[in-house]
């Protein structure tokens, strides 16, 4: 059998530290996540305890400085971690990805006082963080957001609501984009809202297609008071902060798709070697082999593109945003197709929960929608090519 079953990375030179990170994550995922992933999905159980157990492994602040408990790793290292976690459960991996995105925004744009106040508890995962940008009336057009924050004495008073917020209701910290100024992106600010802020509440858990192991709810602000010192950077800087967070977030989500797709291909390779039809294992049919060949090609192309995009972000390359968008678009589309093809290769059994493949299809589907839809990724890429 071919090396594809072992998350091959030989086409991209990883150093010894990166291989060690990859192996450590794979063994955690195999022991602590994979055996429970189907139960969590079926029972819609949020395993906060297992999520928090990744804190001591350094997953609470993967690319946050070590002075506040972070791991001080790079974007490529992070991609390796999310890919390995997602092979066990894409929803679990993406939850940790969003926590890291929100924490990084505080690390990168917060004051020293804010870093010291929030980050040690976020990197240890004593606190979990949400990223609050989307609103009921503003998704792709995020700069049209309406949640307002008005300065009143030593506080900001927030009114409005956020839609589809991952971890809402369970998490401790809400990194929130709110309007402090005029319409458009320049009127947006980023405010860190703690869960116990007066006037903060949450909608009921959404009934979703996938990502069942993590809650998605509305976040509602009704005269919600937050100390003014929770503003990140300055008023008006918030849209840029939100977009900077997404550059890395998009790579992480793509890594979650890649890990899920690799798991789907591995399952398809095992299943088609065992399953008999017309007197032989079904992987003897060339039509089916061609499908496996295309799946492997899609996965390896995704991996090369994603690792290249991550290396560009690490190098602060001027075209890193374009590469993040291209990788997110290509990898999440390709890997969804791979998972869906794996389901097809399992025949009717692929449609059954216990085989694990239909969960991968459901989990990977949302990656084509969130952190900017794949249509918006094309908008970003095209802007880099032809201007606004």
Ligand X SMILES: Cc1cc2nc3c(=O)[nH]c(=O)nc-3n(C[C@H](O)[C@H](O)[C@H](O)COP(=O)(O)OP(=O)(O)OC[C@H]3O[C@@H](n4cnc5c(N)ncnc54)[C@H](O)[C@@H]3O)c2cc1C
Q: Give the interface segment with ligand X, choosing from 46-54, 111-119, 134-142, 291-299 (CB under 6 A).
A: 134-142
User: Does 300 participate in binding ligand X (rule CB under 6 A)?
Assistant: no
Q: Give the interface segment with ligand X, choosing from 3-11, 164-172, 195-203, 268-276 (CB under 6 A).
A: 164-172
Q: 150-154: long-range contacts (C-beta < 8 A, 24 or more apart)? A: 150/180, 151/180, 151/228, 154/227, 154/228, 154/229
**Helices 238-274 and 75-88, interaxial angle, to 10°?**
40
- Measure the CA–CA gap between 140 and 372, rounded to whole angstroms: 6
Q: Give the interface segment with ligand X, choosing from 5-13, 27-35, 145-153, 367-375 (CB under 6 A).
A: 367-375
Instruction: Map the footprint of ligand X across residues 202-241, applying CB under 6 A.
Output: 208, 211, 216
354 catalytic per annotation = no
Using the minimum distance from each CB to ligand X, give the nearer residue, 22 or 252. Answer: 252
Count of all residues that appear for the chain in the document:
388
Among 94, 77, 11, smallest CA distance to 297 is for 11
When binding is defined by CB under 6 A, the residue of 140, 152, 234, 280 that contacts ligand X is 140
Using the minimum distance from each CB to ligand X, give the nearer residue, 7 or 252. Answer: 252
Among 19, 29, 107, smallest CA distance to 63 is for 107
Q: How many CB atoms lie within 10 A of CB 388?
A: 5
When binding is defined by CB under 6 A, the residue of 78, 80, 98, 193 that contacts ligand X is 98
Sign for the CA dihedral angle at 121, 74, 66, 29 comes to: positive
User: Does 139 participate in binding ligand X (rule CB under 6 A)?
Assistant: yes
Size of the site for ligand X (CB under 6 A): 23
User: Does 91 participate in binding ligand X (rule CB under 6 A)?
Assistant: no
User: Does 192 participate in binding ligand X (rule CB under 6 A)?
Assistant: no
Q: Give the interface segment with ligand X, choosing from 53-61, 181-189, 290-298, 373-381 (CB under 6 A).
A: 373-381
User: Does 379 participate in binding ligand X (rule CB under 6 A)?
Assistant: yes
- Say which of 31, 274, 371, 375 is annotated catalytic: 371
User: Does 131 participate in binding ligand X (rule CB under 6 A)?
Assistant: yes
Using the minimum distance from each CB to ligand X, give the nearer residue, 299 or 331. Answer: 331
Binding site for ligand X (CB under 6 A): 98, 130-134, 139-140, 164-166, 208, 211, 216, 366, 369-373, 375-376, 379
- As annotated, the active-site residues are 371
């Amino acid at each position: 059998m071919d090396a594809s079953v072992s998350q091959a990375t030989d086409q991209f030179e990883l150093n010894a530290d990166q291989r060690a990170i990859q192996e450590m994550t794979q063994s955690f995922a195999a022991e602590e996540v994979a055996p429970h992933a189907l139960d969590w999905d079926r029972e819609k159980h949020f395993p906060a305890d297992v999520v928090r157990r990744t804190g001591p492994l350094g997953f609470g602040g993967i690319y946050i400085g070590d002075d506040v408990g972070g791991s001080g790793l790079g974007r490529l290292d992070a991609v390796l971690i999310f890919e390995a976690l997602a092979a066990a459960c894409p929803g679990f991996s993406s939850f940790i990805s969003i926590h890291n995105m929100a924490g990084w925004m505080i690390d990168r744009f917060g004051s020293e006082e804010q870093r010291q106040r929030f980050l040690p508890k976020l990197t240890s995962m004593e606190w979990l963080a949400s990223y609050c940008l989307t609103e009921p009336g503003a998704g792709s057009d995020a700069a049209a957001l309406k949640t307002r924050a008005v300065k009143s004495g030593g506080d900001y008073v927030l009114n409005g609501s956020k839609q589809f917020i991952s971890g809402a209701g369970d998490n401790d910290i809400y990194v929130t984009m709110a309007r402090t100024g005029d319409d458009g992106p320049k009127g947006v600010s980023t405010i860190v809202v703690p869960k116990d802020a007066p006037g903060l509440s949450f909608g009921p858990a959404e009934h979703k297609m996938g990502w069942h192991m993590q809650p998605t709810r509305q976040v509602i602000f009704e005269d919600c008071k937050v100390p003014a010192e929770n503003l990140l950077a300055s008023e008006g800087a918030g849209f840029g902060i939100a977009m900077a967070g997404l550059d890395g977030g998009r790579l992480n989500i793509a890594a979650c798709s890649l890990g899920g797709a690799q798991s789907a291909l591995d399952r398809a390779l095992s299943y088609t070697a065992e399953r008999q039809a017309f007197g032989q294992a079904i992987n003897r049919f060339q039509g089916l082999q061609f499908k496996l060949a295309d799946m492997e090609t899609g996965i390896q192309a995704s991996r090369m593109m994603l690792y290249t995009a991550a290396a560009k972000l690490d190098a602060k390359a001027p075209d890193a945003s374009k590469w993040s968008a291209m990788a997110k678009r290509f990898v999440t589309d390709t890997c969804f197709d791979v998972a869906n093809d794996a389901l097809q290769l399992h025949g009717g059994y692929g449609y059954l929960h216990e085989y694990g493949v239909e969960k991968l299809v459901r989990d990977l589907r949302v990656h084509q929608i969130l952190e900017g839809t794949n249509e918006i990724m094309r908008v970003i890429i095209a802007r880099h090519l032809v201007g606004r």
